[in-house]
Amino acid sequence: MKKALLSITIVAVCFSCNNRGTTKASESDQTIEDSIKQLSLIRQQDSINRERIFDELGDTVFGKVCFGMNKTQYRKAFNEFKKPLKNDKDYYDFVFAGYEFRGYEGSDIEKNDSKSIDGYPYGLDNILKEESYYTYFYQDRLFSVVWNSWRDIQEESIVKYSLGKLINLFEKKYGKPNVNNIDIFNHSYIETGAWHQMKVVARWETGKKKIIVFYRDLVGSERDKWMAENYPSDYQYELYVLFLDKNIKKEVDEYIKPILQKFADDYKEKVRQDSIKNANAL
């Protein structure tokens, strides 16, 4: 009888322990699920807020610069923007968040097909890649603006602080970014583009607009030799800020892709004809 009671007790204790373990596991799973749901709700709200902020801005890029402006309007608005931010040096246009930025006069997409190598329109091909962007007009309408920083040489902690300061100013204007890589900033981090390993520091994006802050390590002859020899661990880098109207960008892609396709078709035909000529010559 005692043995039977002991067996029953052991089974009861084991069942109780297993039940508590199952309960704890269930509670843990529920906590994870709740956290995921909460994070999803936060992201949804961030997206709603971001869309609202950009909708309120309308076509405004920054200052009085607006997407859709012609060259004359853009240059006037850009000069007004940079005038109070101007410093006494002449190799950059304005200072923002401690960075020395250069702007660009802007060029026409339609004229970039002349930039070719062995007949291939690299000028147009690069325009399909955002990391290769500059200030561009399509049909005399502004649709992308780029700020390019002067070379900066700083140790990692200062770079991280400087970039964080810049992103903070943009957050105050445009809300929380979709992507913010400041917390994981280091030499080997995050998504890169094809051109000289562009790295995305932060990205704001809605259905109509996009703002990307790119970081690029300077390499080879781009680096300051004396600083590289004496402070090899310091970053030497450039910063780019891209403002893009996605609607006009779609029109640009539709304009460019047939041109590139025609080149590809013509090139294939040339290779075919050359092959026939070579075969007949033997």
3-state secondary structure 59-83: CEEECCEECCCCHHHHHHHHHHHHH
State whether residue 280 is helix, strand or coil: helix
Q: Is residue 128 part of a domain?
A: yes
Mean pLDDT of the 109-114 span = 66
Of the candidate ranges 46-50, 90-94, 158-162, the one whose mean pLDDT is the lowest: 90-94
State whether residue 31 is helix, strand or coil: helix
On whether the CB atoms of residues 181 and 202 are closer than 8 A, the answer is: yes
Q: Is residue 228 part of a domain?
A: yes
Q: Is residue 107 part of a domain?
A: yes
Q: Is residue 67 part of a domain?
A: yes
Q: Is residue 42 part of a domain?
A: no
On whether the CB atoms of residues 136 and 245 are closer than 8 A, the answer is: no
State whether residue 108 is helix, strand or coil: strand
Compute the distance between CA of residue 245 and CA of residue 73 in angstroms, rounded to an integer. 17
Q: Is residue 202 part of a domain?
A: yes
pLDDT at 190 over 50: no
Q: Is residue 263 part of a domain?
A: no
State whether residue 102 is helix, strand or coil: strand
Q: Which domain holds residue 155?
A: 60-258
- Please report which confidence band the pLDDT of residue 226 belongs to, taking 50, 70 and 90 as the band edges: very high
Q: How many domains does the chain have?
A: 1
Of the candidate ranges 12-26, 80-94, 146-160, the one whose mean pLDDT is the lowest: 12-26
Q: Is residue 44 part of a domain?
A: no
pLDDT of residue 173: 93
Of the candidate ranges 14-18, 27-31, 81-85, 258-262, the one whose mean pLDDT is the lowest: 14-18
pLDDT of residue 111: 75
pTM for this one? 0.75
